[in-house]
Structure 1
Amino acid sequence: MSMKPRRFNPAQLRYDKNWVPVLSPQQITDIAAEVLERFCPVVLKVPRSTPVVEIIQELSKSTGLKFAYTDLGHKDGHKVLGKVSFGEKLLSLDPVLQKELEPAFRFTAAHEIGHWVLHRYKYKLWTFLKKNKELDDDDASLFRLIDKSPLEWLEYQANFFAAELVMPRAQFEQAVAAAQHRLGIRRNLGKIYLSSAGSQLDLVQVLEELERVYSVSRAALRIRMKTLEILVEPPKRSSRLMDVAPEPVGFTKDNNFPF
């Protein structure tokens, strides 16, 4: 039986010296689960696509967030797909997400929802953002995994939130096992070990099944499978005796932080 998510209380958030919220992975998971429980609880019961536009519309009613499709242009040679303007209370998505980049639509929208839910409370204190305290996200920033600067750390948290919103862990694990079962894959149910040509084919087939369930890009699905350790790849050889990844500044190890 899954535990009911704790209530998210923005007044109890902790912040680092740059006024970036300090959140553990479990806390972000709980916040995303609370959003789903409030606006579309069926997503927490059966594997299915998350109605992100409906969530934005509900946030509009409860928080005054506005929503628009707008040509967001390019930044440093990359197409800007989404943007949140905290001062204007405006979440914008580029129309390209309704056309040639449609597979990226759901994750991008969830990413921007993450910014709005997690980051709007102390944005006026940020010194690392210029102009109107806007966060814009291009097609290169949506899948960063480990970053260090305050701005990149905001992106990391929004990515983590987006994954939990559109692919909740428990239901995603169920969907993977169900896809394997439908495909007649009986070995290592719930896991895919990339060690042979056969396992590569299994992965492709499972990804095709999951695309139909979640309506997200194959890249987002594959990253989700890796972070949940459903997809296990052969270790990469390193010439160093030890590879140590620094802990990002925005995470706290305290998973019992009260909401």
Structure 2
Amino acid sequence: MRLNSDFVPVISKREMDEEATKFLRKYCPEALKDPMPVPVEDIAELKMDLEIDYVNIDEACETLGMMIFSDGAVKLYDQESGQYVLRPYKRGTLLVESDISDVSNRGRERFTITHEIVHWHIHKLRFTMMGLIDESLAKACRCPKEKTYNPKSPEEWMEWQADNLAAAILMPAEMFKRKAMEFKSSFNVGSKINDTMWLGFSPSIINEFIIDGLADTFHVSKQAAEIRIKTLGIELLKT
């Protein structure tokens, strides 16, 4: 993988699916054969030797995850005291904001874990090189909830890469397309009665069924499934 002068991989958006395929061939080849939820926790802990810890990262829940690249103390928010405290962690610890680890946020939780896995997978060298200059810089990569869609700095590029590659890993292109077509072919458009009523399913309702089905199949959020549909150029029913 080619690196730029900041030791950040050079990966275009169109290369994300190729990189995701390489990752899945190594860690979960079965996900390239059948549509399925990629077992990201097992990949992290059993195959990449990472440890996942659920904590409160900051007070306002502005940071969803953190990947720790070297031994050291990390400043985290303590709800009981209402203060930030230093906690020691080992290299290879993956922190997830505990406030998103419930059933309603399962898709976001899985995406956050995969996002952090990507940092470990492709960004270790940058943090290693930063650590040679200043050991304090190599502690962790904090990943904010708010995303930058026009990345400029190395940190913004790494976040952009982690987001896009995480989506491609969780929703492998060919399996996602296959399942989308299966769902699409399983519904018939009804008849329009007037401007607001249909006898049977309208195209917009069927599209919602497809998005819901894809989100359920791959255990991602509806928003992530909808974005993936657009990224892959999958045509839904015209409304």
TM-score, normalised with respect to structure 1: 0.69
Give the one of 89, 94, 99 matched to 2:97: 94
Give the one of 57, 61, 65 matched to 1:72: 57
- The CA deviation at 1:32 is 2.3
Give the one of 24, 28, 35 matched to 1:47: 35
Give the one of 178, 187, 196 matched to 2:182: 178
Q: Secondary structure at the match of 2:52?
A: strand
Q: What count of residue pairs does the alignment treat as equivalent?
A: 204
Change in CA separation of 1:221 and 1:122 when aligned onto 2, cut-off 3 Å: same
Asked if 1:226 corresponds to 2:230, the answer is yes
User: What is the CA–CA distance in structure 2 between the aligned matches of 1:152 and 1:232, rounded to whole Å?
Assistant: 32
Q: Secondary structure at the match of 1:122?
A: helix
- The CA deviation at 1:26 is 5.3
- The CA deviation at 1:162 is 0.4
Change in CA separation of 1:172 and 1:219 when aligned onto 2, cut-off 3 Å: same
| RMSD after superposition | 2.8
- The CA deviation at 1:55 is 0.6
User: What is the CA–CA distance in structure 1 between the aligned matches of 2:229 and 2:150, rounded to whole Å?
Assistant: 17
Asked if 1:122 corresponds to 2:126, the answer is yes
Change in CA separation of 1:68 and 1:173 when aligned onto 2, cut-off 3 Å: same
- The CA deviation at 1:232 is 7.4
Query: Counterpart in 1 of 2:218?
Result: 214
The structure richer in strand per residue is 2
Query: Counterpart in 1 of 2:64?
Result: 81
Q: List gaps (5 residues or longer) in structure 1.
A: 1-12, 187-196, 235-259
Using CA pairs under 8 Å that are at least 6 residues apart, name the structure with larger relative contact order, 1 or 2.
Answer: 1
- The CA deviation at 1:166 is 0.4
After the TM superposition, which residues 100-115 of structure 1 pair with which residues of structure 2 at under 5 Å, given as runs? 100-115=104-119
Instruction: Give the letter aligned to residue 62 of structure 2.
Output: K
- The CA deviation at 1:113 is 0.8
Query: Counterpart in 1 of 2:209?
Result: 205
User: What is the CA–CA distance in structure 2 between the aligned matches of 1:133 and 1:207, rounded to whole Å?
Assistant: 38
Asked if 1:22 corresponds to 2:28, the answer is no
User: Are the aligned partners of 2:127 and 2:137 in contact in 1 as well (CA < 8 Å)?
Assistant: no
User: What is the CA–CA distance in structure 2 between the aligned matches of 1:18 and 1:233, rounded to whole Å?
Assistant: 44
Indicate the larger mover: 152-161 or 18-27.
18-27
TM-score, normalised with respect to structure 2: 0.75
User: What is the CA–CA distance in structure 2 between the aligned matches of 1:231 and 1:104, rounded to whole Å?
Assistant: 25
User: What is the CA–CA distance in structure 1 between the aligned matches of 2:166 and 2:32, rounded to whole Å?
Assistant: 14
Asked if 1:134 corresponds to 2:130, the answer is no
- The CA deviation at 1:19 is 2.2
Work out the percentage of aligned pairs sharing the same amino acid: 26
User: What is the CA–CA distance in structure 1 between the aligned matches of 2:145 and 2:111, rounded to whole Å?
Assistant: 11
User: What is the CA–CA distance in structure 1 between the aligned matches of 2:156 and 2:202, rounded to whole Å?
Assistant: 37
Q: Secondary structure at the match of 2:227?
A: helix
Q: Per-residue displacement from partner, 1:183-215 (whole Å, max 9, x unpaired)?
A: 2369xxxxxxxxxx9443232111111122011
- The CA deviation at 1:49 is 0.7
Indicate the larger mover: 95-104 or 23-32.
23-32
User: What is the CA–CA distance in structure 2 between the aligned matches of 1:185 and 1:137, rounded to whole Å?
Assistant: 42
Which structure has the larger Rg over C-alpha atoms?
Answer: 2
Instruction: Give the letter aligned to residue 140 of structure 2.
Output: E
Q: Per-residue displacement from partner, 1:11-48 (whole Å, max 9, x unpaired)?
A: xx332222212123455433322332233222111111
User: What is the CA–CA distance in structure 1 between the aligned matches of 2:234 and 2:165, rounded to whole Å?
Assistant: 19
Indicate the larger mover: 197-206 or 87-96.
197-206
The structure richer in helix per residue is 2
